[in-house]
């Protein structure tokens, strides 16, 4: 019997080949030579790439035997994951391969800013000797703020502790107990901006985090603040940062990432108080080797039909066809529960009721965790396999309960999140009709029946006349269409819950205005990203 063909389309370390072992026929092709790539894919079972090879629908169509695409790195911009999923091809990457390199680069930026290393280097290389111009500051006893305590943020905290600094952090999804274990004090973002001498950012760029640090936040900073972003471009508003640097309202900035890469102009990069690097977070020999070895191991598992820890688009294992439609439901419920939760979460539990209880439904808990943490985790893509690990790292417990009894629906799935301050949020969903439409049927004990959509607004308030008119008018004046609405209450004149389906995301300022107008106990805009 011939060996499975593993096609390597870009230069990878020799350790990658060694990790594959002798069980495969390894072939090489230049992935940027399109005709050669398409021809070589004809009998390949696995394809290993970095960032230059485009793995799109055309390439997948040329590979009828392909089982797995492995990207030796973190990003997947060059791999059409939906097309691969449709073709039944597993996609894997190496989500943790660069975390040490990224953490060390952030610290390098902090040290460079503290001691003016780029400017001093350039001055001396130019034949100058201007020691007095490059007087810096010590890190010792300074306050360093970390935005995001995910894997990289934790590594940064551990390494900075040796400098004798005071560590504070902003991360709404980390419990005080977990932060205390790391020697970190939790703060609100505004508090962190006001207290920090240095800030380093380690969160993903999402609609919620884009522009997270903008003019209002920079206005709170000390004049001595130095801010580092080696995470994702756009989290710091570049125009606001340029203004703050130009006007001397903060002391410096170190950037490895930008909104446009390379930057479209030098309005920011040319400022004398900024040091910049061209997205070097993963650019070390060690990170590249780790990435190659990690995906080689994943390829071995995939071609053996085993569970793959870094699979992006496959849960792994055998899933009963009756259970499979519930995976997407569980993911959406997890996203919704994350949107409802306020503050650090200590547990995310899943309950399954009805006929589904007769099957192995562990994947539904994984789906709920994947959906929950996909809204908040920074460095790596959340998969069915790594979601429990992420929960464990953040001190979040998770239990699955099954019960064949279901009073109103054939099957229901519930996601219940408990926060460290004793609050509890829950959302229950089901699949209905021939098309298996995913619907929300309960929120915090209030009965509703609302199909999932891209944008929802959930508010609770004292039930009284005129409330609907107030928020209906506010949305109308903001030119936001309400596509659907349900109101649930336990007793007349008691607490009411409204869930709206809206055609576009509602700005935070509008939600705050509505919340004040109706004296809401809570009001939240929850976006659902389809799995």
Annotated active-site positions, please?
232, 261, 279
How many CB atoms are located within 10 Å of the residue 342 CB? Answer: 14
- Do 274 and 253 meet the contact criterion of CB atoms below 8 Å apart? yes
What is the arrangement of strands in the sheet containing 446-451, beginning at the earlier edge strand?
400-403, 345-354, 411-419, 424-432, 437-443, 446-451
Q: What are the CB-based long-range contacts (under 8 Å, 24+) for 167-172?
A: 167/143, 168/143, 168/144, 168/192, 168/195, 168/196, 169/145, 170/145, 170/146, 171/146, 171/147, 172/343, 172/344, 172/376
Determine the Cα angle at 372 with ends 84 and 395, to 5°.
120
> For the chain, how many residues are written?
531
Phi, psi of 443 (to 5 degrees): -130, 115
How many CB atoms are located within 10 Å of the residue 314 CB? Answer: 21
Phi, psi of 13 (to 5 degrees): -65, 155
For residue 95 the two structure tokens come to: 């989500």
- Do 6 and 20 meet the contact criterion of CB atoms below 8 Å apart? yes
Which 3-state string (H, E, C) describes 427-458? EEEEEECCCCEEEEEEECCEEEEEECCCEEEE
How many CB atoms are located within 10 Å of the residue 210 CB? Answer: 15
Buried b (16+ CB within 10 A) or exposed e, 243-282: ebbeeeebbbbbbbbbbeeebeeeebeebebbbbbebebb
Determine the Cα angle at 210 with ends 208 and 214, to 5°.
115
Sign of CA dihedral 517, 518, 524, 528: negative
What dihedral angle (degrees, nearest 10) is formed by the CA atoms of 167, 173, 176, 177? -110
- Do 71 and 30 meet the contact criterion of CB atoms below 8 Å apart? no
How would you classify the pairing of strands 345-354 and 411-419? antiparallel
How would you classify the pairing of strands 455-462 and 522-527? antiparallel
For residue 18 the two structure tokens come to: 């060694």
């Amino acid at each position: 019997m011939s060996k499975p063909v593993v096609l390597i389309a870009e230069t990878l370390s020799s350790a990658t080949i060694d990790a594959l072992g002798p069980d495969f026929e390894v072939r090489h092709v230049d992935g940027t030579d399109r005709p050669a790539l398409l021809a070589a894919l004809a009998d390949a079972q696995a394809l290993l790439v970095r960032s230059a090879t485009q793995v799109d629908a055309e390439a997948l169509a040329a590979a009828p035997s392909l089982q797995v695409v492995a990207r030796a790195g973190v990003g997947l911009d060059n791999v059409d994951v939906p097309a691969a999923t449709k073709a039944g091809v597993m996609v894997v990457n190496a989500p943790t391969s660069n975390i040490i390199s990224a953490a060390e680069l952030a610290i390098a930026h902090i040290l460079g800013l503290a001691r003016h290393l780029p400017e001093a280097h350039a001055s001396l290389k130019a034949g100058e000797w201007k020691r007095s111009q490059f007087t810096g500051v010590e890190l010792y006893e300074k306050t360093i703020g970390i935005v995001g305590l995910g894997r990289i943020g934790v590594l940064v905290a551990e390494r900075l502790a040796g400098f004798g600094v005071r560590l504070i952090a902003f991360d709404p999804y980390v419990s005080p107990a977990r932060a205390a274990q790391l020697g970190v004090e939790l703060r609100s973002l505004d508090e962190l901006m006001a207290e920090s001498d240095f800030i380093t950012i380690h969160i993903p760029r999402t609609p919620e985090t884009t522009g997270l640090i903008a003019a209002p936040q920079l206005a709170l900073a000390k004049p001595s603040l130095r801010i580092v972003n080696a995470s994702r471009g756009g989290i710091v508003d570049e125009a606001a940062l340029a203004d703050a640097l130009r006007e001397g309202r903060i002391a410096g900035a170190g950037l490895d990432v930008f909104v446009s890469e390379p930057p479209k102009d030098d309005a920011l990069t040319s400022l004398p108080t900024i040091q910049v690097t061209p997205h070097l977070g993963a650019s070390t020999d060690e990170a590249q080797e780790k990435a190659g070895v990690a995906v080689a191991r994943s390829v071995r598992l995939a071609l053996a039909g085993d569970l793959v820890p870094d699979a992006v688009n496959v849960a792994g294992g055998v899933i009963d066809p009756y259970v499979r439609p519930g995976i997407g439901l569980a993911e959406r419920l997890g996203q919704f529960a994350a949107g409802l939760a306020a503050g650090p979460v200590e547990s995310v539990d899943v309950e399954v009721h009805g006929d589904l209880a007769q099957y192995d439904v562990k994947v539904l808990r994984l789906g709920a965790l994947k959906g929950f943490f996909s809204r908040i985790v920074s460095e790596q893509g959340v998969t069915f396999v790594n979601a429990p690990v992420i929960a464990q790292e953040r001190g979040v417990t998770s239990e699955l309960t099954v019960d064949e009894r279901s009073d109103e629906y054939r099957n229901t799935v519930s996601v219940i999140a408990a926060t460290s301050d004793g609050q509890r949020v829950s959302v229950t969903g089901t699949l209905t009709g021939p098309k298996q439409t995913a619907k929300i049927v309960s929120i915090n004990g209030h009965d509703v029946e609302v199909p999932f959509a891209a944008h929802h607004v959930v508010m609770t308030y004292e039930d009284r006349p005129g409330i609907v008119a107030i928020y209906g008018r506010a949305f109308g004046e903001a030119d936001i269409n309400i596509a659907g609405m349900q109101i649930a209450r336990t007793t007349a004149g008691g607490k009411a819950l409204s869930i709206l389906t809206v055609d576009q995301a509602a700005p935070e300022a509008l939600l705050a205005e509505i919340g004040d107008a109706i004296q809401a106990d809570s009001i939240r805009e929850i976006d659902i990203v389809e799995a």
